[in-house]
Amino acid sequence: MNSKLSHYDPAGKVSMVDVGSKAETERTATARAYVVLNKAVLEALPANKKGDPLEVARIAGIMAAKKTSELIPLCHPLPLTRIDINLTLDDNGVEIVATASTVARTGVEMEAMTAASVAALTVYDMTKALDKSIEIREIHLVEKTGGKSGHFRREEGK
């Protein structure tokens, strides 16, 4: 484990740190978000024949992943090679799992986190007329591969 905050130079100053000497390798990251929905929303979702709100959220998440380095100040711009988003309805809401990949000098953790977050915000936006108490919960990294720090997988139940 690293002993310091990210994106700081030795003098403690914020910077987009130099990754120029790192190797270009394949890197992937998967993030998860969960949107708690009430019964009214859960019943309305499958009833809407055209323009499934979950499809709108999927598109929004994919497009947001491509904007990550515009949104997160110290993120390096990366040529994403893949973005894949799954939305699954269950009894309490919708689970969002977003995976991003690249072949680059730094990882795509923030791209996966951003995709999951914006997909969740879009589910919220599409359903908010039916429920003002909707909550987005538990956005976290699930898995990460590639790069010097190697493979990471979140422990279940954490």
Query: Which amino acids are annotated catalytic?
Result: 125
Amino acid at 56: V
Task: State the Cα–Cα distance between residues 111 and 53, nearest whole angstrom.
Answer: 22
Site for a second copy in 1-20 (CB under 8 A): 1-9, 11-20
Residue 29 lies near a second copy (rule: CB under 8 A): no
Among 30, 42, 127, 147, binds a second copy (CB under 8 A): 127
Residue 39 lies near a second copy (rule: CB under 8 A): no
For 55, half-sphere exposure in the C-beta direction (CA atoms, 13 angstrom radius) is 6
The full length of the chain comes to 158
Among 37, 42, 80, 96, binds a second copy (CB under 8 A): 80
Do β-strands 25-36 and 93-104 pair in parallel, antiparallel, or remain unpaired? antiparallel
Residue 89 lies near a second copy (rule: CB under 8 A): no
Residue 157 lies near a second copy (rule: CB under 8 A): no
Using a 10 angstrom Cβ sphere, with 0-12 exposed, 13-18 middle and 19 or more buried, the burial of residue 84 is middle
Task: State the Cα–Cα distance between residues 56 and 60, nearest whole angstrom.
Answer: 6
Among 46, 74, 88, 90, binds a second copy (CB under 8 A): 74
Residue 43 lies near a second copy (rule: CB under 8 A): no
Query: Whose Cβ is closer to a second copy: residue 88's or residue 90's?
Result: 88
Residue 92 lies near a second copy (rule: CB under 8 A): no
